[in-house]
Structure 1
Amino acid sequence: MPLQYSFEITPNIDQVNLDGLLKLNPEFISITDRNHDMDNLLQSIQIADYIHANSSVDVIIHLTGIDKDEKRVQEMIDLMQQHDIHSVLALRGDKLSQNDTAVTFPHADRLVEFIKQQYPHVHISGTCYLNSSDEEMKWLRQKIEKGCTNLISQFSFDVNDYVGYLNQIQIDTPIWFGIMPVISKSQAQKMLELTHSTAPAELSALMNQNEDEFGEKGVQYTEGMINKIRQAGANHIHLYSLNNAENTEKIINTI
């Protein structure tokens, strides 16, 4: 099966970079935002309208459950439907407090179930986690059982995490493996700190170079990761584009 790829963007992307990404003909573009309120959804919908008007690329909108009740989820999906958006990435979202007992959707599987019951025609994607514990695998299976038909993985800078997951996973649901491009030294360091990760040896050596020498070698590092994941049997890649069409194109053109 030939490699398929998709991109993730944020709603503050400019038109030049969005047009550049659309020219690469991804299978879909997912639109994310950290503030999952109605104003931010309207911003994402403007992007989706532009994508629909200028390409045949599908759009997936990120939708968190932990900060919403059933009424708000319905309001948001109804609005998406009015704009011909029929795909969502159902997420739990960051915890609001230590005590979430009053939350309507404390886990993503409940959000998946609710959406599937109320909107059976909506395509629901979910997330999965490399190096999953037994508990995380349990929640993953429940999301699939309740209607999730597509998965996007978290990212890692260590290709062994992807290969290990491919060997571990025992489900038939398509998995789009999330790849965070290594674009700059500062960006890579920020992401390592955010995920509490340790850089593998090859990336660690790269991090010792000057920032101005980092760019092209970082792209090559990303390309190498994707090719190794493909060799291990992955057919779907989800690139966190960082709203940068130029670097994304460099990666796509070499894999």
Structure 2
Amino acid sequence: MPLQYSFEITPNIDQDNLDGLLTLHPQFISITDRNHDMDNLIQSIKIADYVHAHSDVDVMIHLTGIDKDYDTVKQMMDLMQNHDVNDVLALRGDKLSQNDSAIIFSHADELVEFIKKEYQHVNIAGTCYLNSNDEELHWLKHKVTKGCTNLISQFSFDVNDYVDYLNRTDVTTPIWFGIMPVISKTQTQKMLDLTHATTPDKLIALMNASEEEFGEKGVIYTAEMINKLEQAGANHIHLYSLNDAENTKQIIEQI
């Protein structure tokens, strides 16, 4: 099966970069945002309308459950349906405060189950986590049983994390492996600090490069990760575009 790829964007993407990403013909574009509320959904819907009008690319919108009740989820899902958005990434989300007690969707699988019951034709994606223990892999299967038709993994800067996960999991649901492009030294360091991700020797050496030469070498590093992952048997790549069409294009051209 040829390698398929999708892109992730945020609602503040400008039209030039969105147009540039669409010319690369991804399988779908997913739209995420820190604030998964109605105002941000409306902005995402505007992007979805534009994508539908100018391409045949599908749109997936992220939806968190922990900060919402049944009516709010239905309101948001109905709005998506009215704009022909039939793909959703169902997430648990973060608690608004440590004192939250009246939580309806305390886990992502509960949100998956509710959406699948109310909107049977919707394609529901869920997240999966590299370096999962046996219990986490068990709950992943539970999420798939509840209705997930696709999975998107967290990102890593070490291709071995992806390959190990590919060899450990036995779910048949397609897994889109999340890849964070290494295109900015400052941004990459920020991600390493935030996630405490594994830092391979090759990336450590790359981090010693100047910001000016980092970009080109980082594109090569990212493309090499994807190519190695494909050689290991992966068929689906979910590339965090960082709203940057040009760097995304350079990576895709080297796959």
For normalisation by structure 1, the TM-score amounts to 0.98
| Structure 1 range deviating more: 230-239 or 133-142 | 133-142
| Structure 1 range deviating more: 7-16 or 197-206 | 197-206
Residue 78 of structure 2: aligned partner: 78
Q: Please say if residues 156 and 198 of structure 2, whose CA atoms lie closer than 8 Å, have aligned partners that are also in contact.
A: no
Residue 195 of structure 2: aligned partner: 195
Q: Tell whether 2:10 aligns with 1:4.
A: no
| CA positional deviation for 1:133 | 1.6
Alpha-carbon distance in 1 for matches of 2:245, 2:24: 9
Residue 52 of structure 1: aligned partner: 52
Runs (4 or more) in structure 1 with deviation over 2 Å come to 95-102
| CA positional deviation for 1:97 | 3.2
Q: Please say if residues 109 and 142 of structure 1, whose CA atoms lie closer than 8 Å, have aligned partners that are also in contact.
A: yes
Count, aligned residues = 255
Q: Tell whether 2:92 aligns with 1:114.
A: no
For residues 22-61 of structure 1, what are the alpha-carbon distances to aligned partners after superposition, in whole Å with 9 as ceiling and x for unaligned? 0000000000000011000000000000000000000000
**Unmatched tracts of structure 2, length 5 or more:** none
Residue 126 of structure 2: aligned partner: 126
Residue 220 of structure 1: aligned partner: 220
Residue 23 of structure 2: aligned partner: 23
Alpha-carbon distance in 2 for matches of 1:78, 1:161: 38
Q: Please say if residues 100 and 106 of structure 1, whose CA atoms lie closer than 8 Å, have aligned partners that are also in contact.
A: no
Residue 142 of structure 2: aligned partner: 142
- Residue aligned with 1:192, SS: helix
Alpha-carbon distance in 2 for matches of 1:111, 1:163: 29
**Unmatched tracts of structure 1, length 5 or more:** none
- Residue aligned with 1:149, SS: strand
Alpha-carbon distance in 2 for matches of 1:73, 1:192: 33
Residue 173 of structure 2: aligned partner: 173
Alpha-carbon distance in 2 for matches of 1:140, 1:3: 23
| CA positional deviation for 1:101 | 4.3
| CA positional deviation for 1:136 | 1.6
RMSD across aligned positions (CA)? 0.9
Q: Which amino acid aligns with 1:116?
A: K
